[in-house]
């Protein structure tokens, strides 16, 4: 059901959505009308926040207050920002932010409130990391810090979406009281992206792999780029995948509590893409060379198969078996991986 955008600002927002993330935009366009506008606005506001955080041409004394106070822009009607960030695609979300504001102000106050609260918390978290010298120099140290970083950039998104879905009465209200489930929805996606983006982030001079894990396999994170360190690199990826699999159970419980078919699709599709990506990066030397992506044909098949809860369970069951069978006995994580896959497979 492609909504018929009523206002001109809504038309601009749909264009911005398609520009920023073609594949995901299609999923948002399939959402039931009641959720489509609030989630589109939420997605674009998050994109704007992300674009500021990623823009290395903005000095900290400008960036930090910009992030911390970003939620206050939601009270305005004409705010825009001319960043000079790297990619034009994202910058336009800021130069046309007044269009997003216009649609934001047309939302029900309850939806506006949910979006504003998450934006405030996320902006505060991003400002904290922007100011954190140690984080900028040495990246993420402990698994605890890894989870906290992922909470700010992804867990909060899950929380906001859950509150929108429950407010619109398309999900089990108890999802609001079990935010640990929304947290896992975000952490599973973000941890998968962080494992996959090793090379891209390293080339950008950033790293999000927690030292508490990679430090067992190398002295420096960039060591994994060298062929002689390939084995320890693959073992490190195994442990990172094992850590990400720790979010699977909660994510599957979450999906079982989303009633509306279009909201279920919206939540399930990124999760099945993530488990397929984890299986792709697992024991895959190409992770240290480029961004490993699942094939287009696989993506299409996953979208078709993920339309029912049973279909999602079958997809997870398949890729957990793939990971289990790919794990060599020489991998120090072999036993843990087998136990985790076994534990999850019986749950499926």
Ligand X SMILES: COc1cccc([C@H]2O[C@H](CC(=O)N[C@@H](CC(=O)O)C(=O)O)C(=O)N(CC(C)(C)C)c3ccc(Cl)cc32)c1OC
Interface residues toward ligand X, by CB under 6 A:
21, 23-24, 39, 42-43, 46, 153-154, 157-158, 161-162, 182, 185-186, 189-190, 193, 266-267, 270
334 is catalytic: no
Residue 83: CB minimum distance to ligand X, A: 19
Residue 238: CB minimum distance to ligand X, A: 21
Pick the closer one to ligand X by CB: 213 or 255: 255
Residue 171: CB minimum distance to ligand X, A: 10
Report the C-alpha gap between 331 and 245 in whole angstroms. Answer: 17
42 is catalytic: no
Residue 85: CB minimum distance to ligand X, A: 17
Given a contact cutoff of 8 angstroms between Cβ atoms, the answer to whether 33 and 2 are in contact is no
- Coil, helix or strand at residue 136: helix
Catalytically annotated residue among 14, 104, 149, 188 = 149
206 is catalytic: yes
Catalytically annotated residue among 152, 208, 266, 282 = 266
Residue 292: CB minimum distance to ligand X, A: 11
Pick the closer one to ligand X by CB: 112 or 232: 112
Report the C-alpha gap between 49 and 52 in whole angstroms. Answer: 5
Pick the closer one to ligand X by CB: 242 or 267: 267
Pick the closer one to ligand X by CB: 42 or 217: 42
Pick the closer one to ligand X by CB: 139 or 186: 186
Tokens coding 61:
């004394």
Report the C-alpha gap between 267 and 254 in whole angstroms. Answer: 9
CB-side neighbour CA atoms (13 Å) of 144: 0
> Of 187, 162, 184, 188, whose CA–CA distance to 175 is shortest?
162
Catalytically annotated residue among 42, 111, 196, 288 = 196
Q: At what angle do helices 88-95 and 33-54 cross, to 10 degrees?
A: 110
Report the C-alpha gap between 241 and 243 in whole angstroms. Answer: 5
Pick the closer one to ligand X by CB: 185 or 195: 185
Q: How many residues does the chain have?
A: 348
Across 265-289, b (16+ Cβ under 10 Å) vs e yields bbbbbbbbbbbbbbbbbbbeeebbe
Q: Which residue has the tokens 């494992």?
A: 195
149 is catalytic: yes
Residue 6: CB minimum distance to ligand X, A: 21
* 220-226-229-233 Cα dihedral, nearest 10 degrees: 70
Q: Catalytic residue numbers?
A: 149, 196, 206, 266
């Amino acid at each position: 059901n492609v909504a018929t955008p009523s206002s001109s600002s809504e038309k601009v927002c749909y264009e911005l959505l398609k520009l920023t993330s073609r594949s995901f935009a299609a999923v948002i366009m399939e959402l039931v009308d009641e959720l489509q506008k609030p989630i589109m606005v939420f997605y674009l506001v998050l994109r704007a926040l992300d674009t500021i955080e990623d823009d290395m041409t903005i000095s900290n004394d400008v960036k930090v207050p910009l992030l911390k106070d970003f939620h206050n822009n939601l009270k305005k009607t004409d705010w825009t920002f001319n960043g000079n960030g790297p990619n034009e695609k994202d910058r336009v979300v800021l130069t046309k932010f007044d269009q997003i504001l216009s649609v934001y102000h047309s939302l029900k106050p309850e939806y506006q409130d949910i979006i504003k609260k998450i934006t405030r918390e996320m902006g505060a978290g991003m400002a904290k990391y922007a100011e954190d010298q140690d984080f900028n120099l040495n990246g993420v140290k402990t698994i605890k810090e890894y989870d906290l970083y992922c909470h700010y950039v992804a867990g909060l998104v899950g929380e906001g979406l859950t509150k929108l879905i429950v407010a619109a009465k398309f999900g089990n209200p108890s999802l609001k009281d079990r935010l640990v489930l929304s947290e896992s929805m975000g952490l599973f996606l973000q941890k998968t992206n962080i494992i996959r983006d090793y090379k891209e982030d390293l080339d950008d001079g950033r790293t999000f792999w927690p030292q508490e894990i990679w430090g067992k396999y190398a002295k420096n994170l960039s060591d994994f780029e060298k062929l002689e360190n390939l084995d320890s690199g693959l073992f490190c990826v195994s442990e990172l995948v094992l850590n990400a699999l720790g979010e699977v159970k909660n994510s599957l419980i979450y999906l079982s509590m989303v009633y509306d078919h279009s909201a279920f699709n919206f939540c399930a599709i990124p999760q099945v893409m993530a488990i397929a990506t984890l299986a792709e990066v697992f024991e895959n030397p190409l992770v240290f060379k480029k961004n490993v992506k699942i094939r287009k044909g696989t993506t299409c098949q996953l979208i078709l198969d993920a339309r029912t809860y049973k279909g999602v369970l079958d997809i997870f069951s398949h890729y957990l078996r793939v990971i289990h069978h790919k794990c060599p006995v020489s991998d120090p994580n072999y036993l843990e991986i087998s136990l985790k896959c076994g534990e999850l497979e019986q749950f499926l």
